Amino acid sequence: MLGIVRVSDRRATAPWPWVLLVAALASLARPARRGDGAAERRLRSPVRAGLVFDVGGRGDKSFNDAAYAGLARARQELGVDVEYVEPADGDDRAGALRLFAARGFDRIVGVGYMFSRDIDEVARDYPDRRFACVDYAPPEHGDVPPNVVGLKFREEEGAFLVGAAAGLSSRSRAVGFVGGMDIPLIRRFEAGYRAGVGAVCAACTVSAAYAGSTPLAFKDPERGAQLATAQFATGVDVIFHASGSTGHGVFVAAQRLGRRAIGVDADQYDDMPGVVMTSMLKRVDVVVFELVREAVAGRFDRGDAGLRSFGVREAGIDWVHAGPHAAGMSADTIARVEGLRDAIARGELRVAGREAR
């Protein structure tokens, strides 16, 4: 099943592709109801933006929810018409992208590296449309299509910061990492985390485990709880996860055993208050919003050879270090990690993005 929804509308699902396609085409001819604000929004901005979610979909309290927040902000602040799709399986990704392209959307965004080849294919078939892919993997041969921009994050910088926080906060001098799918992208998280721990606690050890080798590894909380429990049993007292909704299982295990955890992509404190001591922030919301704002301004910034990179300096990467959601860390820990953050932003400290292994 594949659902498509306007952010302002009630959620609806329809069998793919025929019923959904008919409904989508019908919506193009449907006049706006008076008083519903749709006509006014179109007068403010004729731009339409479509987003296709990664595995786990909206409600993962992580990567996808951050992308949705940027889309919703674009609608609220820029008056654009926005829609999103939650694919049920891999075959739906290309279909969802094609639907937005056929309907003439101005910006079409795929959330997740798995969209890379689908976006390349669809972009070549629709050269007048503009596409973007979060965590894009460039093709092994040939160039990035001219109507595609790949959005890359320097995740290792944020992982380094929360790794330093873990190393400074660990009483046992043993910390852990739980990744989702075992791929280079997630290994960069592990590499940055290990580097951050080592920068502040040479005596600390880091245990690491991955939930699996398929996309399902990003939505398996039970597996996350098993991996976290095993690490806690060895003396680990803080675990950082980079595993989508699998990370909820890490939080459950930490709560049950009286340990602490570190969230990823978004501020995940509310998912398990008192357990999540901080979170690495991957500001997909900021990047998605900027993409739509560029469309409103009539721009399509492709960066260097079709790739744009976002880290601490560009406000694309950060960590939770203020307010009640950071109350579980000492003032000295926060100050030390903030010093490292400032050094990264100034270019004085470079975090290597090498894969951990």
pLDDT of 26-43, one tens digit each? 333 332 322 334 444 444
Q: What is the pLDDT of residues 308-340, one digit of tens each?
A: 999 999 999 999 999 999 999 999 999 999 999
H helices then E strands: how many in the chain? 11, 14
Domain contains 353: no
Question: What 3-state class would DSSP assign to 108?
Answer: strand
Q: Is 85 in the same domain as 175?
A: no
Number of domains present in the structure of the chain: 2
Please tell me the pTM assigned to this model: 0.81
- List the one residue out of 356, 339, 116, 156 whose CA is nearest residue 264: 156
Strand ranges of the sheet holding 276-282, from the earlier edge strand across to the other edge? 205-212, 174-181, 238-242, 260-263, 276-282, 317-319
Distance CA(38)–CA(41), nearest Å, equals 5
Q: Is 160 in the same domain as 297?
A: no
Q: Domain span at residue 264?
A: 155-282+321-345
Q: Is 122 in the same domain as 108?
A: yes
Beta-carbon contacts of residue 32 (< 8 Å; ≥ 6 apart): 38, 39, 42
In terms of residues, how long is the chain? 357
Q: Name the band, by pLDDT with cuts 50, 70 and 90, for residue 45.
A: low
Q: Is 137 in the same domain as 15?
A: yes
Distance CA(189)–CA(155), nearest Å, equals 6
Domain contains 33: yes
Domain contains 351: no
Tell me which amino acid residue 145 is.
P
Domain contains 245: yes
Average pLDDT, the chain: 87
Q: What is the pLDDT of residue 10?
A: 33
Q: What is the pLDDT of residue 90?
A: 56
Q: Is 167 in the same domain as 122?
A: no
Q: What is the pLDDT of residue 21?
A: 38
Domain contains 328: yes
Q: What is the pLDDT of residue 89?
A: 61
Q: Is 339 in the same domain as 269?
A: yes
Say if residue 244's pLDDT is above 70: yes
CATH number at residue 174: 3.40.50.2300
Q: Is 132 in the same domain as 30?
A: yes
Q: Is 56 in the same domain as 201?
A: no
Q: Is 168 in the same domain as 53?
A: no
Overall average pLDDT of the 146-154 stretch: 96
CB 287 within 8 A of CB 301: no
Q: Is 261 in the same domain as 179?
A: yes
